[in-house]
Amino acid sequence: MLGYGMSLAGRWAARGKLSILIYHQVLEAFDPLRPSEPVAERFDWQMALLARHFTPLSLSDALAQLQAGSLPPNAVCVTFDDGYANNLTVAQPILQRHGIPATVYVATAFSDGANMWNDRVLHLFADSDRARLKLGQASVDLGDWNSRRQLAQRCLDELKYLPWQERTARVDALYRLNEIAEQPPLMLTPEQVQALTNLGVEVGAHTVHHPILKQLAAAEQRGEIEQSRAQLEAWTGRPVRHFAYPNGRLGRDLDQQTQQQVREAGFESAVITNPGVAVAGTSPWLLPRFTPWDRVPWRFQARLLRNQLVPTA
């Protein structure tokens, strides 16, 4: 069903266009608070499909070939944001089995056992034995998973654009108020980051504290960008060449100054979260990506194809 139309479309449409996929976690088991995060089984068929119908490349190779005009048809890169431990324990063996290179962008402040603020917020809503949650003065009925997801999303939306120090303090306060214990660490340790690179996965920088860079003064932006890189290079003993802007929406989360800082810090590329494909004229510091959230193979494949067919800016 897929093969003929696929390869036909691939031949005329997708040469010189690079699709970059964004993942975050690959879960061992379905999580009702994260229904769009793939479990191992879904990730496995997605990677099988990429290996069969597309040309997966490392980001470094893909960018070099894009600039040289030698990008193969249906070129695709797989990237992961934030630096979850399951990138090593769950995703990497699947990537290896299918021979697919990948890049993992790590926010370095979370490699010492602390979890990211968004995962900490979700965990507040995750205990099915808990019926109510205090949110400051008010308390809410948690209800079923659907209701919990909506409440958690509202909480995430409210906190996302606060300065990261205040965001952390607000989440700390919710844990104290409700007397909830932190969940075990979710992120890669420095040793695991090194293990990933030893297995051939490219590691990129994603700042230290995962702030919205646009909101920071120039010196603070520079610190977040340069420190994360220095830390990752110390952990891996390798140059860190690629960067991912936290949150990553051009205009809203990063601006011209942010791009300039990333260029001056010496990164060869930076990825955003605006959807699209990269072509020869795309700025290497503004590479678009998209999230393959589909749960059935034909939709996943159709979305990848459609992504390559869209006119590029």
Q: Please say which residue, 81 or 224, places its beta carbon nearer to Zn ion.
A: 81
**Where do the H-state alpha helices sit in the chain?**
3-13, 40-53, 59-68, 86, 92-98, 117-124, 145-159, 164-178, 190-198, 218-236, 256-264, 297-309
Which listed range, 42-50, 78-86, 150-158, 281-289, lies at the site for Zn ion (CB under 5 A)? 78-86
Which listed range, 39-47, 73-81, 227-235, 279-287, lies at the site for Zn ion (CB under 5 A)? 73-81
Question: Tokens at residue 154, please?
Answer: 């509202």
Compute the distance between CA of residue 40 and CA of residue 49 in angstroms, rounded to an integer. 14
Please give the DSSP secondary-structure letter assigned to residue 14. Answer: -
Please give the DSSP secondary-structure letter assigned to residue 109. Answer: G
Q: Which of 82, 224, 226, 253 binds Zn ion (CB under 5 A)?
A: 82
Which listed range, 172-180, 235-243, 246-254, 296-304, lies at the site for Zn ion (CB under 5 A)? 246-254
Determine the residue with CB nearest Zn ion.
Answer: 81
Compute the distance between CA of residue 194 and CA of residue 233 in angstroms, rounded to an integer. 10
Q: Point out which residues pair with 243 in neighbouring strands.
A: 205, 270
Q: Please say which residue, 118 or 192, places its beta carbon nearer to Zn ion.
A: 118
Q: Which of 81, 119, 253, 268 binds Zn ion (CB under 5 A)?
A: 81
Which listed range, 34-42, 82-90, 184-192, 223-231, lies at the site for Zn ion (CB under 5 A)? 82-90
Compute the distance between CA of residue 186 and CA of residue 250 in angstroms, rounded to an integer. 28
Total number of residues binding Zn ion (CB under 5 A)?
3
Question: Tokens at residue 121, please?
Answer: 């917020």
**Does 253 participate in binding Zn ion (rule CB under 5 A)?**
no
Binding footprint of Zn ion on the chain (CB under 5 A): 81-82, 246
